[in-house]
């Protein structure tokens, strides 16, 4: 095993063309908007246009990484999603051709609810430990969708995060130790015949907290750092309040006093993007990392805790060290622009988009041009998805 540091060399995110303000949803549902703004910590959520899907947002996230670093030695592409577009063909293959990746590559889709992106990152780290000259492109992309007029509805959202994983990374070097926890539970799932997830909300919140705590226990058993060593804690954020709840639970389980200011200092900067993007499942944890790096104080040399949770369920507690000079490699301006350039939806159009179904009759269906993002789904024809660059 090599001792070369391995981790995140570049990180870029993309989101959809549209967003819905939670005040609009609150009015429709007849609840106080502060239930969403304060109670779950969500102000807006990204919503996909009819000509967007996880392939188009994943490609938009990955494109700037290839523009900056080229494609040499990218021999593996891992796309994690739980909202894939095909039961057989990897969504990563559409992306592979859209953004011009080399043919000499293994291209795979990964799934385990919101945990899939972390599986991709850890598998990538293993491949690079075997051959440090290789680089792996890991993309986490999801569009979170629950039934209309249900408690899950305000916790929708969409985003993709692309990461270039390499030896001697410029942003975050991963510690070799990880804490793991898996348990077969039914807190959130989506059978193949459904487009919307089924969730037992309260069970899922408790399952998340227990899994995070168990993963932490395993992390310590494996020789991981102590709680006090971390400058910040980056949690999977189905809604931003969940990160606060989970952190408080973790601290209390370890006999620490859960002081509100200390929790804010540990979590606050990780929530800025998720608060306005919503749940992006596999991408959510890494959107939290982008938010922390873009908004936190100077983190050079500091240790970060990363807590990944995917319903069903798998959790991983892992960690890393922020690298010297990392700020020169961030994409803060582009990240802020991806959010601020979204078009705000009225309720009726949001509902139409939510209720629209994918063409499934095999005929030619051109998609109405809506998105102004770099890639779009142009048509579905003969059961094939046809993408184009804009
Ligand atoms: P709910 O029943 O609508 O909300 O469901 P509530 O009544 O529990 O209220 C939420 C909070 O708002 C409460 O605060 C209220 O007090 C507060 P808390 O007690 O939790 O601290 N509140 C207000 N605050 C200020 N002003 C007001 C006001 N009114 C109420 N006026 C629930 C909430 C999260 C359960 C629901 O949205 C849901 O089911 N969401 C989907 C499931 C989910 O996100 N689960 C998270 C853990 S599982 C996970 O993270 C995995 C996942 O990402 C999927 C994957 O892995 O693939 C989901």
- Segment 318-373, tens digit of pLDDT: 999 999 999 999 999 999 999 999 999 999 999 999 999 999 999 999 999 999 99
CB 276 within 8 A of CB 309: no
Annotated binding residue 73: no
Q: Any residues with CB less than 8 A from the CB of 187 and at least 6 apart, and which? A: 199, 200, 203, 204, 207, 208, 311, 312, 313
Q: How far apart are CA 147 and CA 131, in angstroms?
A: 45
Percentage of the chain modeled with pLDDT above 90: 98
Q: Whose CA is nearest to atom 30 of ligand 1?
A: 35
Reported confidence tier of residue 211, pLDDT bands at 50, 70, 90: very high
Distance separating alpha carbons of residues 177 and 205, to the nearest angstrom: 26
118-169 confidence digits (pLDDT tens): 999 999 999 999 999 999 999 999 999 999 999 999 999 999 999 999 999 9
> Per the domain annotation, does 153 fall within a domain?
yes
The yes-or-no answer on residue 234 being catalytic is no
CATH number at residue 258: 3.40.47.10
Tell me if 245 is assigned to a ligand binding site.
yes
| Position in ligand 1 atom list of the atom nearest CA 34 | 26
3-state DSSP call for residue 358?
coil
- Does residue 379 fall inside a structural domain? no
Radius of gyration, alpha carbons of the chain: 20
Is 314 domain-assigned?
A: yes
For residue 164, list its beta bridge partners. 10, 137
Which tokens in the block code for residue 196?
Answer: 């919307």
Tell whether residue 200 is among the known ligand binding residues. no
Provide the pLDDT for residue 1. Answer: 47
Q: What is the DSSP letter of 15?
A: -
**What is d(CA 369, CA 389) in angstroms, rounded to the nearest whole number?**
12
Q: Which of 25, 42, 155 to mutate to test the pocket of ligand 1 (most atoms within 8 A of CB)?
A: 155
Q: pLDDT confidence of 85, banded at 50, 70, 90?
A: very high
Q: Cα dihedral sign for 375, 269, 293, 179?
A: negative
For residue 258, give both structure tokens.
């859960």
197 CA to centre of ligand 1 in angstroms: 15
- Site to substitute for ligand 1 among 81, 238, 243, most atoms within 8 A of C-beta: 238
Backbone angles phi, psi at 119, to 5 degrees: -60, -45
Q: Whose CA is nearest to atom 12 of ligand 1?
A: 39
Residue 390 in any domain: the answer is: no
3-state secondary structure of 129: helix
Q: How confident is the model at residue 2 (pLDDT cuts 50, 70, 90)?
A: very low
Look at residue 369 and tell me if it is in a domain.
no
Residue 13 lies in a domain: yes
Give me 62's structure tokens. 């990955």
Note the pLDDT tens digit of each residue in 243-286: 999 999 999 999 999 899 999 999 999 999 999 999 999 999 99
Domain-located, residue 380: no
Q: What is the reported pLDDT for 3?
A: 77
| Position 389 in a domain | no
Q: How far is the CA of 1 from the centre of ligand 1 (A)?
A: 43
Helices (H), the chain: 22-29, 33-34, 54-69, 91-98, 116-130, 201-221, 240-253, 260-267, 272-277, 284-295, 332-340, 347-355
Residue 82 among the catalytic residues: yes
User: Domain containing 341: what range?
Assistant: 6-363
290 contacts 135 by C-beta, under 8 angstroms: no
Give first-to-last CA distance, the chain, whole Å: 44
Pocket of ligand 1 (CB under 6 A): 32, 34-35, 38-40, 82, 113-114, 151-152, 154-155, 187-188, 199, 201-202, 204-205, 208, 236, 238-239, 242, 279, 281, 309-311
C-alpha to C-alpha distance for 278 and 351, rounded to whole angstroms: 17
Find the catalytic residue in 109, 114, 214, 316.
Answer: 114
Cα–Cα distance list, 248 to 35, 201, 313, 377 (Å): 20, 19, 21, 42
Most informative mutation of 186, 188, 190, 260 for ligand 1 (most atoms within 8 A of CB): 188
Exactly one of 17, 236, 249, 354 is catalytic; which is it? 236
Q: By three-state DSSP, how is residue 359 classified?
A: coil
User: Looking at 52, 82, 109, 153, which residue is catalytic?
Assistant: 82
Q: Which residue shows structure tokens 């030695």?
A: 73
**Nearest ligand 1 atom, CA 115:** 56
Find the mean pLDDT for residues 211-217.
98
Q: Which residue has the tokens 């523009």?
A: 67
Q: Is residue 346 packed enough to be buried (19+ CB in 10 Å), middle (13-18) or exposed (0-12)?
A: exposed
Q: Please give the number of the atom of ligand 1 that sits closest to the Cα of 239.
A: 44
State the distance from the centre of ligand 1 to the C-alpha of 278, rounded, in angstroms. Answer: 12
Residues 6+ apart with CB under 8 A from 169: 5, 6, 7, 8, 9, 323
- Record the pTM: 0.98
The number of distinct structural domains making up the chain is: 1
């Amino acid at each position: 095993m090599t001792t070369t540091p391995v981790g995140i060399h570049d990180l870029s995110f993309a989101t959809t063309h549209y967003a819905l303000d939670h005040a609009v949803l609150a009015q429709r549902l007849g609840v106080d908007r502060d239930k969403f703004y304060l109670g779950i910590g969500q102000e807006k959520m990204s919503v996909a246009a009819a000509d967007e899907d996880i392939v188009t947002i994943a490609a938009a996230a990955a494109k700037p990484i290839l523009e900056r670093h080229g494609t040499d030695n990218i021999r593996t592409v891992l796309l994690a999603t739980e909202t894939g577009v095909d039961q057989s063909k990897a969504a990563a293959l559409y992306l592979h051709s859209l953004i011009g990746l080399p043919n000499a590559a293994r291209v795979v889709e990964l799934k385990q609810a919101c945990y899939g992106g972390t599986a991709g990152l850890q598998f990538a780290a293993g491949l690079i430990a075997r051959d440090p000259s290789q680089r792996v492109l890991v993309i986490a992309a999801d569009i979170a969708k629950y039934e209309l007029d249900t408690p899950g509805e305000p916790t929708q959202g969409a985003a993709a995060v692309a990461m270039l994983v390499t030896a001697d990374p410029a942003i975050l070097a991963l510690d070799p130790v990880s804490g793991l926890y898996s348990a077969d539970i039914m807190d959130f799932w989506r059978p193949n015949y459904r487009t919307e997830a089924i969730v037992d909300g309260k069970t899922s919140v408790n399952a998340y907290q227990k899994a995070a705590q168990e993963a932490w226990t395993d992390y310590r058993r494996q020789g991981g750092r102590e709680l006090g060593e971390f400058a910040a804690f980056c949690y999977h954020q189905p809604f931003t309040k969940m990160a606060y709840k989970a952190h408080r639970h973790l601290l209390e389980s370890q006999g620490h006093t859960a002081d509100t200011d200390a929790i804010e200092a540990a979590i606050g900067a990780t929530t800025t993007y998720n608060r306005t993007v919503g749940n992006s499942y596999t991408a959510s944890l890494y959107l939290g990392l982008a938010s922390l790096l873009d908004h936190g104080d100077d983190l050079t040399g500091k240790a970060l805790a990363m807590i990944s949770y995917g319903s069903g369920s798998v959790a991983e507690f892992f960690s890393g060290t922020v690298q010297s000079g990392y700020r020169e490699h961030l994409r803060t301006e582009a990240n802020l622009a991806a959010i601020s350039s979204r078009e705000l939806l009225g309720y009726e159009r949001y509902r139409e988009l939510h209720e629209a179904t994918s063409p499934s009759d095999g005929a030619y269906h051109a998609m109405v041009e809506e998105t102004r993002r770099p890639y779009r789904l142009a048509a579905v024809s003969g059961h094939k998805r046809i993408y184009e660059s804009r």
